[in-house]
Amino acid sequence: MVFHPTLNPEQKALEININNKIYGTIAEIGAGQEVARFFFRAGGAAGTIAKTISAYDMVVSDTIYGKEKSGRYVCEDRLHRMLNREYDQLETRLRAERGPETQFFAFADTVAAKSFGSKLDGHGWLGVKFQHKPGASVSECVIHIRLKDKENLQQQEAIGITGVNLIYASLFYHQDSISFINSLEERLSTQRVEIDMIRVSGEAFKNVDNRVLSLELVKRNFCQAIMFDSDGSALMATDSLYKKNILVCRGSFRPPTFVNMDMLETGLRDFKKNLPKEEQGNITVLPEISMSKLKERGELDTSDFLARVDILAAMGHKVLISSFENFFELNTYLERYSKKNVAFVLGVYNLEEIFDFSKYENYEFGPLAGIGALVGKKTKIFVYPGKDEKHPDVTINIAKMRVDERLTFLLMYLMENGHLIDIVDYNESYSTIWSRTVIRMIQDGVDGWEEMVPKLVAKTVKKKCLFGASKCDI
């Protein structure tokens, strides 16, 4: 990362305005013309702004940009329609006059800011389509934001700052992922704006990995979680999880072992049994990896996380990367997006930790509130049995796990009401596989770990020399 001075939005807008190569359009829907306002207020906007537009009326907007099949106006498809039309008009109307030395850009946003009487957070899509240098082909950056300010006027200001930051970062920091991400939230805070999706494309970003940008958002606390599709691309959790039943398996997946895969398979099987027939095909299976503890220890390796995302994606799984320290925070997040059922599949030792009284010493509401937030109204927990490391012939299930006596009756209540369910039909031969043993064998170059993971995992680890492997197929 190259050091860059921190500029306020007016300074960024002025730097763009006085650059006689940069020229473009700003189109905004939903929260005023807040981005354009910064450019006009900075001075010298005539050198940068070809046009500003704000098509608020739905009929007018549809006439200009066309109708969306979904009927929604605050969506990524709408943003792309706006960006494409506005940029194409620049090329058609002004290229001959301004010549090849001009860098065109089109910025657009479509936002649902907080309305009068609404208790919902605002959100929106922002994007910029641009040339990063004269004569370059077009590149693009799109983000989705959540607006957390309580007042409409504050949300409008936040949109303006974010928009200026996005234009500036795209024009000047497109080849430096860390500087790019840092620039997006300059003069803002995560108490005001959360960026929960980013996607870049084009010549300006040819050396930039979209997944790195997404991971940096979580790593730097600009959002709580980011979701990847099975092809490795960033996903919007809102769209992907909406009206879906969700099965989550939290783990390190470093690397994914047969135990992880069996947990996902048996958890999915038992989850289906607990759903109505019409909902059994409407399930999103989601491996989840938390950055929380690694961030605290300062041991967060982006390439290590990308390796795990790559392997899980190659196995056909979506992946959620989060900063949640515990299960109940994760459940609260998932319930925000899905109005259906949520289920966790976890090992019995994870459940022991959840019922460990000492884990709630720094949580002001105590274990009752924490465990209550985890199970919620519709959440079920499927518990994968474990083996006692000292006595491998002993199987540990819910009934045999260690629980603080102060929480015994809570455990009984959750079992009797179907919130905690033992997984019974599982592969016992996998019970003695421990992830920490596998990773140690990989790093020490000890043979035999390949028998503890799926073939695709073993092949990928060796081929790409992942997780500190000392023996690789090079």
Q: Are residues 211 and 359 located together in one domain of the fold? A: no
What is the average pLDDT across 426-455? 93
Q: Are residues 207 and 335 located together in one domain of the fold? A: no
Secondary structure of 101-126 in HEC code, one letter for each residue: CCEEEEEEEEEECCCCCCCCCEEEEE
Q: Which uninterrupted H or E stretch holds 289?
A: strand 283-290
Domain presence at residue 470: no
Q: The domain that contains 383 carries what CATH number? A: 3.40.50
- Name the average pLDDT for the chain: 92
pLDDT band (50, 70, 90) for residue 394: confident
Q: Residue 132 pLDDT more than 60?
A: yes
Q: Are residues 115 and 260 located together in one domain of the fold? A: no
Longest dimension (CA), the chain: 81
Handedness of CA 136, 138, 144, 145 (dihedral sign): positive
Q: Within 13 Å, how many C-alpha atoms sit on residue 293's CB side?
A: 5
Domain presence at residue 228: no
Angstrom CA distances, 190 to 32, 154, 221, 266, 346, stand at: 22, 14, 7, 38, 30
Would you state the pLDDT for residue 299?
A: 64
Residue finishing a domain among 223, 247, 278: 223
Q: Are residues 254 and 393 located together in one domain of the fold? A: yes
**pLDDT digit string, tens, across residues 93-126:** 999 999 999 999 999 999 998 776 666 679 999 9
Q: Are residues 26 and 117 located together in one domain of the fold? A: yes
Q: Are residues 454 and 426 located together in one domain of the fold? A: no
Q: Are residues 331 and 367 located together in one domain of the fold? A: yes
pLDDT band (50, 70, 90) for residue 239: confident
Sheet holding 342-347, edge to edge: 234-235, 225-228, 319-322, 283-290, 245-250, 342-347, 380-384, 420-422
According to DSSP, the β-strands at 245-250 and 342-347 are parallel
Q: Which residue range(s) make up the domain with 406?
A: 239-430
Q: The domain that contains 97 carries what CATH number? A: 3.90.950.20
Q: Are residues 397 and 456 located together in one domain of the fold? A: no
Q: Are residues 372 and 396 located together in one domain of the fold? A: yes
Q: Are residues 148 and 284 located together in one domain of the fold? A: no
Q: Are residues 296 and 153 located together in one domain of the fold? A: no
Lowest mean pLDDT among 86-90, 161-165, 342-346, 469-473: 469-473
**What is this structure's pTM?**
0.90
Structure tokens at 344: 């966790």
Angstrom CA distances, 164 to 11, 143, 175, 203, stand at: 10, 13, 18, 21
What is the average pLDDT across 317-325? 94
Q: Are residues 439 and 426 located together in one domain of the fold? A: no
**pLDDT digit string, tens, across residues 152-173:** 899 999 999 999 999 999 999 9
Q: How far apart are CA 446 and CA 471, in angstroms?
A: 9
